[in-house]
Amino acid sequence: MERTKLNWLNGAAVIPVLVGIGLSSPAYAQVFEDEIIVTATKRAESVQDVAISVTALSEKQIKALGYTNAQQITALAPGVSTVQPNGESNYSVAIRGASNSDFTTNVESPVALYVDETYISQSSGSGFQLFDTERVEILRGPQGTLFGRNATGGLVHYISVKPQEEFGGYVNASYGSYDRIKVQGALNAPISDTVAARVSFATHQGDGYVENRLRPDRSLNNANDVAGRAQLSFKPTDDFDLLLAARYGSQDIRTGFFEYVSAPLPTGAGQPSSPNPAIGGYTDLDGDIYAGSYDFPGRNQLETYSFTATGNYRFGDSLELTSITDYQSTDRDYIEDSDASPFNFFNFFLTTDAKQFSQEIRLSGSADKFKWVAGGYYINIDIDDQNGGIAPGFIANFVNLLSGQNPSNVDFDNLDAEVANAGFNGVDNPYTQETESFSIFGQVDYDLSDQLTLILGGRFISESKDFQYNNNGVLFDENATSGRDPRTQLIAPDLVPSFTGDRSDEMWSLRAVLNYQVNDDLLLYGGYNRGVRGGGFNAPLLPGIIDASFYEYEPETLNAYEAGFKKTFADGRARLNASAYFYDYTDYQAFSIIGLDTFTQNANAENYGFEAELQANPAEGLDVLLGVGYINSNVSDVAGVNTDAIASDGSLISAAFRQGDIVPVQTPEWNLNGLVRYEVPVSNDYSVAFQADAEYRSEHVFNLSGAASSIEDGYAVVNGSVTLSPEEQPWDLAVGVSNIFGEEYLVQTFDLSGTLDAGGFFGMIEQYYGRPRMWNVSLNVDF
């Protein structure tokens, strides 16, 4: 059989610099696939016909790009970034300035993640392995009309390959840096004329890329991930089909890696060569950002599973009823060496026990000039979580402060005696939250003429949350490695008064768009979109540094205005899509870090920007992708804490600490990306494809304070690969290198340099870096 060449261009991002290039006609057929069909409007449409800013990647593109983890998919989407709140164990997505870096589990992201139309509420479960995926759709802008959760930023939708009528499958295996082995595959089996099954799996095992100088055999950020999916499809008649799916994922890695930077008082600025008296006079001067002296290796134990039933019933040719029932569970046990030193000072932990149930029912149809969809959505999210710290050194500092002594005079060799006066050596903050949301929604597309379509949609949401939070002083066993250690003793319940809150929000979203199909190759669109997010509660680590108003925040409303076009040209061998937008927020839910604590606070915000993406085949065998995203964004009226708020009697006073315009976290002004692939035959039987791709993010911040320690100056990461493909055989062999030039770039920082109300007597800054240069060799076989 003749091997079909891979299309690398559908849905990828490109700046319009190539518009004027003369595009020669390829000598061979099928370099481009057909246009990708997406379901961004809850019905199948070409991505070029959807009046939404969408980037879509097909199954072949995902495999060819070597993506094996969900967060990698954002690399080729303009205006989109992956956010890592605390490294390898948490992921979320930022779109157009909307992001959430909060790693507490009761705060949902403004950018929603979906798998096969089911919402993923827990960010700790969003770093799943990517395997056997039919396509990925990234939708920019508010998506509260047709999708269940209230996503003001946008959403990312992962669609799995479904059971097919023919027997087949694939296996992909790779080996690379740090003895890492990845294996994934799928088996599709028709059982009868009406029943088919598909089983998929993935595993990733290997050493860590961060050396622990105290335990060289226990490197951090290793790989130990397993995932699987089983699907059973029933189609007893042409009018009815039912898909049952079960998913499982687990991770057990050593994590919590931070690069230690001394920042002792009184300045609190980064002073790498200055001993830090708060933590045993420690300094880290080896200059290696991928090495540290960690007395505690940290860990992230995560287990997720879900069950979904999706049924479709068709009433004739123009009416379809869909039901999606889903249940999910996320269980997580995370702990880290927060002080990044050889001293037993502070180990932050958090645990997650989250259960989620959702039900969606929708009816869609068409008649004459109308296309419409309507339905209802219900979701219940029940969490029973905790955060805190095993913190003997930190508690000893605090005791010294209250007794009038120098808080840095801690004997780390005799910590039991140091904390004896307090009676406890850590804090534990259990909290529960139940979220219940019901909504009704609808959208209609009405053809005003053969070329002009009016799209009107809306959703009404009724949402309630019940929240309970406690802050306790506890005594951890000296060998404790988890916040769940059963030997933990409750010593001082309610160090600060417990907090109980409940709220009910009624909200509505709206979409009004005009869609003008100039001709078969050009679509113009523009309109208004009202997005909303419900209010909620914060679960702080050190609640004594805040006042009661910080526990709760109000709903967010976004009035978004957008216009764009989608253009196909050069005989279908190039596509250029672009959009511009203006966002006006009310009660913007701003994310901020205050010392060790993460908070969501209401503020005001405005932003505007544009994205452009192009895909083209300029010459035979040459594929080019380029993209650009620009955003001008600011947040104002953000409250914080007073960094000089320790009174003479040791009490803590909260106050607003700054006013004025601030750039939101994880929002670079410029986001550029591109890919070049050149495929050339090397004989009558083989071809070789050379590929290079890159992503650039300009300066951005990790903290609304704007402190120098929270700024990343900007960086570019370049990757490359070479793939050998036979013409007559269904396999290919690839060699790839990620971060070719060894770029050292920050993905998160925590400034812990100040006094207690700014996060504690740490006298240091935590820096979390992206992955180093890594290589791999992979073999893919289809059957």
* Higher pLDDT among residues 405 and 10, named by residue: 405
Q: 576 and 684 in contact (C-beta within 8 Å)?
A: no
In a domain, residue 4? The reply is: no
Rounded Cα distance between 102 and 123, Å, is 9
In a domain, residue 231? The reply is: yes
Q: Is the pLDDT of residue 230 over 90?
A: yes
The tokens for 227 are 């995932």
DSSP summary character for residue 739: S
> What is the band of 651 on the pLDDT scale with cuts at 50, 70, 90?
very low
Residue type, 549: S
Rounded Cα distance between 534 and 330, Å, is 22
Q: What pLDDT score does 35 carry?
A: 72
* Higher pLDDT among residues 15 and 689, named by residue: 689
Parallel, antiparallel or unpaired: strands 711-726 and 211-212: unpaired
Q: 225 and 255 in contact (C-beta within 8 Å)?
A: no
Q: Please choose, from the candidates 93, 90, 73, the residue with its C-alpha nearest in 3D space to the C-alpha of residue 82.
A: 93
Half-sphere exposure of 367 (CA within 13 A, CB side): 7
CA 393 from centroid of its chain's CA atoms:
33
In a domain, residue 6? The reply is: no
Q: What pLDDT score does 272 carry?
A: 83
* Higher pLDDT among residues 419 and 490, named by residue: 490
pLDDT tens digits, residue range 549-575? 788 999 999 999 999 999 999 888 899
> What is the band of 357 on the pLDDT scale with cuts at 50, 70, 90?
very high
In a domain, residue 654? The reply is: yes
**Angle of CA points 183, 189, 190, to nearest 5°:** 160
Q: Is the pLDDT of residue 649 over 60?
A: no
Q: 65 and 676 in contact (C-beta within 8 Å)?
A: no
Rounded Cα distance between 496 and 545, Å, is 10
Minimum mean pLDDT range among 404-418, 433-447, 695-709? 404-418
In a domain, residue 235? The reply is: yes
H/E/C letters for each residue in 555-614? CEEEEEEEEEEEEEECCCCEEEEEEEEEEEEEEEEEEEEECCEEEEEEEEEEEEEEEEEE
Q: Please choose, from the candidates 67, 71, 88, 89, the residue with its C-alpha nearest in 3D space to the C-alpha of residue 80.
A: 71
Rounded Cα distance between 352 and 508, Å, is 30
The percent of residues above 90 in pLDDT, for the chain, comes to 58
* Higher pLDDT among residues 348 and 269, named by residue: 348
Q: 37 and 636 in contact (C-beta within 8 Å)?
A: no
Q: 334 and 350 in contact (C-beta within 8 Å)?
A: yes
Q: Please choose, from the candidates 117, 129, 95, the residue with its C-alpha nearest in 3D space to the C-alpha of residue 40.
A: 117
Rounding to the nearest 10 degrees, give the CA dihedral for residues 104, 108, 114, 119.
Answer: 100
Please report, for residues 222, 268, 350, the alpha-carbon distance to residue 767 in angstroms, rounded to integers and kept in the order given: 18, 15, 19
Q: What is the mean pLDDT of residues 319-324?
A: 97
Q: Give, for 402, the enclosing helix (H) or strand (E).
A: helix 392-402
Say which residue the tokens 């967010």 belong to. Answer: 556
Q: Please choose, from the candidates 600, 555, 541, the residue with its C-alpha nearest in 3D space to the C-alpha of residue 107.
A: 600
Minimum mean pLDDT range among 109-113, 349-353, 574-578, 758-762? 758-762
What are the E-state strand segments in 108-214?
111-115, 118-120, 133-140, 154-160, 168-176, 180-190, 195-206, 211-212
- How big is the chain, counted in residues? 783
Q: What pLDDT score does 650 carry?
A: 33
Minimum mean pLDDT range among 47-61, 93-107, 146-160, 298-312? 93-107
Rounded Cα distance between 613 and 562, Å, is 16
In a domain, residue 1? The reply is: no
Q: Which residues contact 585 (CB under 8 A, 6 or more apart)?
A: 556, 557, 558, 559, 604, 605, 606
Say which residue the tokens 């309507």 belong to. Answer: 374
DSSP summary character for residue 405: S
**Angle of CA points 760, 255, 96, to nearest 5°:** 80
Q: What pLDDT score does 251 carry?
A: 93
Rounded Cα distance between 625 and 648, Å, is 61
In a domain, residue 336? The reply is: yes
Q: What is the mean pLDDT of residues 314-320?
A: 90
In a domain, residue 152? The reply is: yes
Q: Please choose, from the candidates 329, 322, 493, 474, the residue with its C-alpha nearest in 3D space to the C-alpha of residue 390.
A: 474
Rounded Cα distance between 217 and 359, Å, is 47
The percent of residues above 70 in pLDDT, for the chain, comes to 86
Q: Give, for 68, the enclosing helix (H) or strand (E).
A: none
Rounded Cα distance between 213 and 297, Å, is 11
Most confident of 249-263, 507-521, 758-772: 507-521
Q: What pLDDT score does 510 carry?
A: 96
Q: What pLDDT score does 652 carry?
A: 32
Q: 113 and 94 in contact (C-beta within 8 Å)?
A: no
pLDDT tens digits, residue range 594-623? 666 778 888 889 999 999 999 888 888 888
Give the global pTM: 0.90
Please report, for residues 163, 166, 233, the alpha-carbon distance to residue 195 in angstroms, rounded to integers and kept in the order given: 9, 11, 6
Q: What pLDDT score does 416 carry?
A: 79
Domain holding 122, by residue range, is 16-782
Q: What pLDDT score does 189 carry?
A: 97
Q: What pLDDT score does 161 carry?
A: 96
What are the E-state strand segments in 161-280?
168-176, 180-190, 195-206, 211-212, 223-237, 240-253, 259-262
Please report, for residues 123, 249, 276, 759, the alpha-carbon distance to residue 86 in angstroms, rounded to integers and kept in the order given: 11, 20, 23, 16
Residue type, 550: F
pLDDT tens digits, residue range 717-738? 999 999 999 988 999 999 999 9
Q: In total, how many domains does the chain have? A: 1
What's 265's domain CATH number?
A: 2.40.170.20
Q: What pLDDT score does 560 carry?
A: 97
Rounded Cα distance between 26 and 9, Å, is 15
* Higher pLDDT among residues 663 and 741, named by residue: 741
Minimum mean pLDDT range among 310-319, 652-661, 669-678? 652-661
**Angle of CA points 159, 163, 169, to nearest 5°:** 95
**Angle of CA points 518, 520, 526, to nearest 5°:** 40
Q: What is the mean pLDDT of residues 499-520?
A: 95
Please report, for residues 53, 106, 178, 294, the alpha-carbon distance to residue 224 in angstroms, rounded to integers and kept in the order given: 36, 26, 13, 20
The per-residue pLDDT of the chain, averaged, comes to 85
Q: What pLDDT score does 404 carry?
A: 66
Q: Is the pLDDT of residue 29 over 80?
A: no
Rounded Cα distance between 74 and 697, Å, is 12
* Higher pLDDT among residues 365 and 618, named by residue: 365
Q: 252 and 334 in contact (C-beta within 8 Å)?
A: no
Minimum mean pLDDT range among 61-75, 99-113, 358-372, 627-641? 61-75
Q: Please choose, from the candidates 108, 133, 140, 132, the residue with its C-alpha nearest in 3D space to the C-alpha of residue 121.
A: 108
Rounded Cα distance between 108 and 119, Å, is 11
> What is the band of 646 on the pLDDT scale with cuts at 50, 70, 90?
very low
Q: Please choose, from the candidates 33, 77, 35, the residue with its C-alpha nearest in 3D space to the C-alpha of residue 54.
A: 77
3-state DSSP helix/strand/coil % of the chain, to nearest 5:
10, 55, 35
Most confident of 228-242, 537-551, 642-656: 228-242
Q: What pLDDT score does 114 carry?
A: 93
Q: Please choose, from the candidates 349, 330, 335, 324, the residue with its C-alpha nearest in 3D space to the C-alpha of residue 298.
A: 335
